Amino acid sequence: MLENIKKLSEVENLENKKVLVRIGANIPLDENGKIDSDFRLKKIMPTLKFLEEKKAKIILMGHIGRDPEMSLKPVFEWFQNENLKISFDEKTFQNLNEEKIRQLKEKIEKMEAGEILLLDNLRQSELEKKNDLDFSKKIASLAEVYVNEAFSVSHREHASMAGVPEFFQEKYIGLLFQKEIEHLEKILNPGENSIAIIGGAKIKTKLPLIEKISEKFSLNILGGGIANNFYKFSGYKIGKSIFDEKFLDLKKYLSEKLFLPNIVIVDDGVNKKVEKEIFEVQKNDNILDISPNSFFEIEEKLKEAKFVFFNGPLGYYEAGYTDGTKYLLEILANENNYFIAGGGDTADVIFELGLEKNVDWISTGGGALVEFLANEKLPALEILKK
């Protein structure tokens, strides 16, 4: 899938070239505005070091959060602590007029080889999401080379992802993006003794993934809000549990390879964590996790797994319902298999348990990962083929 894509890893001469890099900087912040997880930023570092060694002039752009008032200053401070020669342009996109572009070009001209300029939050401008042509053209005028190092946003047809690269002859995927695709391609050919665990709250986004990979894997385990829809479709009561009425015709997704856990953890309105078999769930119950006891009947299959794909927690992770997710991770994350995990909450649990060394690849993408696996393409990747 990367045959027609130019890769930054193969580029030799970048000395003194102005290189514009779209990074995945949308990292979580705590209530004090401090970085809660630097996982995505650490993943970007090899590309920045590569460009630094190639003596390029590096211009970074990215977004953070949904509030247009948010700033990438915490990201700038994190990069500073990594001993990068980096400067920060605040409020870059609040009014990206010709004068602002002129000022940015002056800054970039004065940069030394290997130095970095981080532009502020792209979503300070509504034109980013609109993929505005003039907005894209202005940004593109700052550099000679474009690099997409934001796999996590590559399912979005926004200006920085789909508009800006249209104006470049030299355009590449970064080192991280390349590794993401190379690892995720393996999920499409998992082989025997393979297990896919699909969790998360929204079934709408995961059904295309389930449909695409379920026949490829030996066993498919469902959890989270996704499982609730399957419980309801199968005739079980789910009480007050979340589900989506639009996605209850699930017959075509049922197969012998599908494992629907039969023991759940509910909040019954009195006690927060009550273990029940699925047929015992009552109208006041809220299913919030999968019980580890659900997996005893498939324990041997879990231990024999040679390839594992884990995407999305099996419970309401934010509220502390992590028993099912932790149980599976502790069994499956070992040196005897090839293990790929989706980003977001799944990555958080892996780091919390200290299992990251036993996981072969933790993706930085959530929505992008699902779209790539379901469709085998991404809008921002297709642009780079032109």
pLDDT single digits (tens) 247-260: 878 998 988 999 99
Higher pLDDT, 267 or 201: 267
H-helix segments, the chain? 39-53, 73-81, 98-110, 127-130, 133-140, 175-187, 203-213, 224-233, 299-304, 323-332, 345-353, 367-375, 379-383
Average pLDDT over residues 285-293: 97
Contact between residue 173 and residue 165 where contact means Cβ atoms under 8 Å apart:
no
pLDDT number for residue 187: 96
The whole-number pLDDT of residue 245 equals: 86
Q: What is the pLDDT of residue 335?
A: 87
- Whether 386 has a pLDDT exceeding 80, the answer reads no
- Residues 318 and 362: their CA atoms lie apart, in Å, by 19
Answering whether pTM is above 0.85, one says yes
So what's the pLDDT on residue 345? 82
Phi, psi of 93 (to 5 degrees): -105, 10
Q: What is the H or E stretch that residue 276 is in? A: strand 274-277
Domains of the chain: 8-179 (3.40.50.1260), 188-373 (3.40.50.1260)
Q: What is the pLDDT of residue 247?
A: 80
pLDDT at 249: 86
Tell me if 223 sits within 8 A of 231, measured CB to CB: no
- 277 pairs with which residues across the strands? 263
